[in-house]
Amino acid sequence: MSDSLTTKIETPSITYEQPLGLYIDGKFVKGTEGKTFETINPSNEKPITSVYEAGPEDVDIAVKAARKALNGVWAQTMPSVRGQMLMKLADLFDEHIDTLAAIESLDNGKALSMAKVDIGLASGCLRYYGGWADKIHGKVIDTDPETFNYTRHEPVGVCGQIIPWNFPLLMWAWKIGPALATGNTVVLKTAEQTPLSGLYAATLCEKAGIPAGVVNIISGFGKTAGAAIASHMDVDKVAFTGSTVVGRTILQAAAKSNLKKVTLELGGKSPNIVFNDANIEDAISWVNFGIFFNHGQCCCAGSRIYVQSGIYDKFIESFKARTAKNVVGDPFAADTFQGPQVSKLQFDRIMNYIQNGKESGAKLETGGERHGQEGYFIQPTIFSGVSEDMKIMQEEIFGPVCAISKFETEDEVIKKGNETTYGLAAAVHTTDLNTAIRVSNSLKAGTVWVNCYNMLSYQVPFGGFKESGIGRELGKYALANYTQVKSVRMRL
Ligand code: NAD
C-alpha cells in the first residue's frame, strides 16, 4: 500500500477520499508497528484497499487518550453541549449519506438502498441520544430528618466497544450515541471485514466538534486488538456485539482483569410462528423479510419458521414464489435486495450448513447453491420438514437459509419455539389478539414481533434473553448500561 493515510476510492456510485489510519486522540495515525491489512470487496473477491492495524500497544495508547479526555475536556463539557455535538454528528451522517452508504455497499456488500436505510437509522439514533444528554439526572431520596440523600448518574468511564460487520455504521451509532450522551469516552474497534465506514465516520466526529480523545476508532483483529480491549486494566466497560463464543471470552477477560462492566449483544436462532388464522400474504412478506433481509446476516433473523398444519402446504408454495422475487446481485443496482455474504469464511460456513441440511433429510424447497460465478453470493434457501434435532434448526447460520417445520397446537409451538439456547427475538403471525398476547408472553425472547419482523427503532430496547446477551441497547434502557449510580448521604 502507499505510505499515505488516505486513498481515493472509486465506487460505482461515488468517488471519495478514504482515511486509512487509526483514529486516536483526534488524529489519524499509522500505529506503533505500521502494520496494515486488506479489506475485500465481497462482490468480486478483490481487495479494496489496506488499512492500518491496531495491536495491543495501540489499544493502550487509545485507552490513555480516552482516559485523559474523560477526566479533562469531556468532564468540562456541559451535557447540553455533548447533546448538540451528537445532533451535529447526526446531521453530518445525513449530509454524507451517499458516501457512507456507498462505503457500506462496497465493503460489506449490502444493497445500496438498504445501506441508506441503515445510515438514516444511525443518524436517528445519534440524534435521539443527543436529546437525552441533558436529561440524565438522579433523585432526592428522603429517609429521615437528619440526612439529605441524593443520587447522581455518573458515566461508567472509558468504554471499549467491539462491533461486528453486519451493520457496521448502525452498530457504531448504537454504541457511540448512548456512551457519549452519558459522558463516557470510547475506544471502538470495528470488525476486520468492514473497517472503512467507521474510519470515515471518525472524520465526521472531528467535524461535529467532538474533542480529541473522546472517540477513538481503531481497525484490527479480534484476537489481538479486541482481546486487548477486553483485558485492559483501565477500560471500565466493554460493550460487545457479535458471536456468543466471543461473548464468553469477553466475560472471562473482564473477570480475569479489572471486573469491567460488560454488555453483550449476541446471536440468535429466532422462531417465526405462523398460525392458521394469519393473513397469509402479509405473513409471508414479513417471514421473507425476517430471514432474507441483510442476506440473513442479522442476529435476530427469523431462521426457524413454524407453520400451522392447516396452511402449511399453501404457505410453502406462496413463500417460494415470494422468495423468487428477491433480486440477488450487484449491491449498487437499484433493484437489488440481496448482495453477497460478507466474506469467504462466512460464505463457506453457510454453504457447509446448506450441505448439512441436504444430507440430514430436510426437503430443499428452493436455493441451495451459490449465485453467479464470482463474489460471495448465495441463493435464498428454504428447507422444509426440518426436525428439532437437525443442525440447521439449532445453530445460527447467519446467512440466507431458513428451516421450516409444521406444528399442530399452540402449546406445541411455544415449546418448540423455546427449545434453543438463544433468546434474542421471536415473532407471531395471527389475527387473534388473544393468541398474539398469550404466545408473545410465553416466548423466551428479548423482542417479540406480532404480524411483522425486524422492526427496530432507537426508542425501543433491544437485547437477549438466555445466551443471546446481557443488558439492553437502545431506548432509555441503554443509558442505564452507560451510567453508574452514586448515592450521596449528608448528615445535616
Ligand atoms: P465475532 O464474534 O468473531 O466478531 C465480532 C467482533 O468481535 C469483531 O469486531 C471481532 O474482531 C471481535 N472479536 C473476535 N474475537 C475476539 C476476541 N477474542 N476478543 C475480542 N474481540 C473479538 O463474529 P464473526 O467471526 O465475525 O462471525 C461469526 C459468527 O458470529 C456469525 O456467523 C454469527 O453467528 C455471529 N455474529 C453475530 C452478530 C450479531 O449481530 N449478534 C454479528 C456478527 C456475527
The pLDDT tens digits for 472-489 are 999 999 999 999 999 999
Pocket flag, ligand 1, residue 451 (CB < 6 Å):
no
**CA nearest ligand 1 atom 37, residue:** 242
List 104, 265, 396, 467, catalytic entry: 265
Tell me the mean pLDDT in the region 295-303.
Answer: 98
Q: Please tell me the predicted confidence (pLDDT) of residue 313.
A: 98
Pocket flag, ligand 1, residue 222 (CB < 6 Å):
yes
User: Which among 394, 390, 333, 332 is positioned nearest to 364, based on CA atoms?
Assistant: 390
Q: Please tell me the predicted confidence (pLDDT) of residue 477.
A: 95
Q: Please tell me the predicted confidence (pLDDT) of residue 429.
A: 98
Residue 405 CA, ligand 1 centroid: distance in Å: 29
Question: How far is the C-alpha of 436 from the C-alpha of 294, rounded, in Å?
Answer: 27
Residue 164 CA, ligand 1 centroid: distance in Å: 6
pLDDT at 2 over 60: no
Catalytic site includes residue 265: yes
Question: How far is the C-alpha of 242 from the C-alpha of 53, rounded, in Å?
Answer: 20
Q: Ligand 1 pocket: which of 59, 162, 197 to mutate (most atoms <8 Å of CB)? A: 162
Tell me the mean pLDDT in the region 234-247.
Answer: 98
Atom of ligand 1 nearest to the CA of 396: 34
Pocket flag, ligand 1, residue 220 (CB < 6 Å):
no
Q: Which long-range contacts (CB under 8 A, 24 or more apart) does 313-320 make?
A: 314/280, 315/274, 315/280, 315/283, 315/284, 316/365, 316/382, 316/384, 316/404, 318/280, 318/281, 318/284, 319/284, 319/287, 319/288, 319/382, 319/404, 320/365, 320/366, 320/382
Tell me the mean pLDDT in the region 282-310.
Answer: 98
Tell me how far CA of residue 208 lies from CA of 145, 156, 199, in angstroms: 47, 23, 15
Q: What's the pLDDT band for 4 if we cut at 50, 70, 90?
A: confident
pLDDT at 3 over 90: no
Tell me the mean pLDDT in the region 238-261.
Answer: 98
Q: What are phi and psi of 114, to 5 degrees?
A: -70, -40
Tell me the mean pLDDT in the region 305-316.
Answer: 98
Pocket flag, ligand 1, residue 62 (CB < 6 Å):
no
User: Which among 417, 469, 411 is positioned nearest to 269, based on CA atoms?
Assistant: 417
Question: What value does the CA radius of gyration of the chain take, rounded to a whole number of Å?
Answer: 23
Residue 242 CA, ligand 1 centroid: distance in Å: 4
**How big is the chain, counted in residues?**
492
Question: How far is the C-alpha of 422 from the C-alpha of 55, rounded, in Å?
Answer: 32
Mean pLDDT of the chain: 97
Atom of ligand 1 nearest to the CA of 267: 41
Tell me the mean pLDDT in the region 320-336.
Answer: 98
Beta strand 304-308 with 401-407 is parallel
Question: How far is the C-alpha of 78 from the C-alpha of 58, rounded, in Å?
Answer: 29
pLDDT at 491 over 70: yes
User: Which among 27, 36, 463, 57 is positioned nearest to 268, based on CA atoms?
Assistant: 463
The pLDDT tens digits for 91-105 are 999 999 999 999 999
pLDDT at 335 over 70: yes
Question: How far is the C-alpha of 208 from the C-alpha of 383, rounded, in Å?
Answer: 48
Residue 347 CA, ligand 1 centroid: distance in Å: 15
Lookup result for grid cell 409444521? 406
As to burial, measured by CB atoms within 10 angstroms (0-12 exposed, 13-18 middle, 19+ buried), residue 224 is middle
pLDDT at 321 over 90: yes
pLDDT at 279 over 70: yes
Residue 411 CA, ligand 1 centroid: distance in Å: 34
Residue 246 CA, ligand 1 centroid: distance in Å: 6
pTM: 0.97
Pocket flag, ligand 1, residue 107 (CB < 6 Å):
no
Q: How many helices (H) and strands (E) does the chain have?
A: 15, 22
Q: Ligand 1 pocket: which of 166, 175, 243, 456 to mutate (most atoms <8 Å of CB)? A: 243
Q: Please tell me the predicted confidence (pLDDT) of residue 113.
A: 97
Query: Which H or E element spans position 321?
Result: helix 312-324
DSSP, collapsed to helix, strand or coil, labels residue 224 as helix
Atom of ligand 1 nearest to the CA of 342: 26
Q: What's the pLDDT band for 119 if we cut at 50, 70, 90?
A: very high
Pocket flag, ligand 1, residue 473 (CB < 6 Å):
no
Q: Ligand 1 pocket: which of 229, 246, 424 to mutate (most atoms <8 Å of CB)? A: 246
Residue 237 CA, ligand 1 centroid: distance in Å: 18
Query: Which H or E element spans position 481?
Result: helix 475-481
Beta strand 15-19 with 6-10 is antiparallel
The pLDDT tens digits for 425-456 are 999 999 999 999 999 999 999 999 999 999 99
User: Which among 414, 424, 190 is positioned nearest to 302, based on CA atoms?
Assistant: 424
Pocket flag, ligand 1, residue 413 (CB < 6 Å):
no
The pLDDT tens digits for 202-235 are 999 999 999 999 999 999 999 999 999 999 999 9
Q: Is 231 left (phi over 0), alpha (psi -120 to 50) or beta?
A: alpha
Q: Please tell me the predicted confidence (pLDDT) of residue 388.
A: 96
Pocket flag, ligand 1, residue 204 (CB < 6 Å):
no
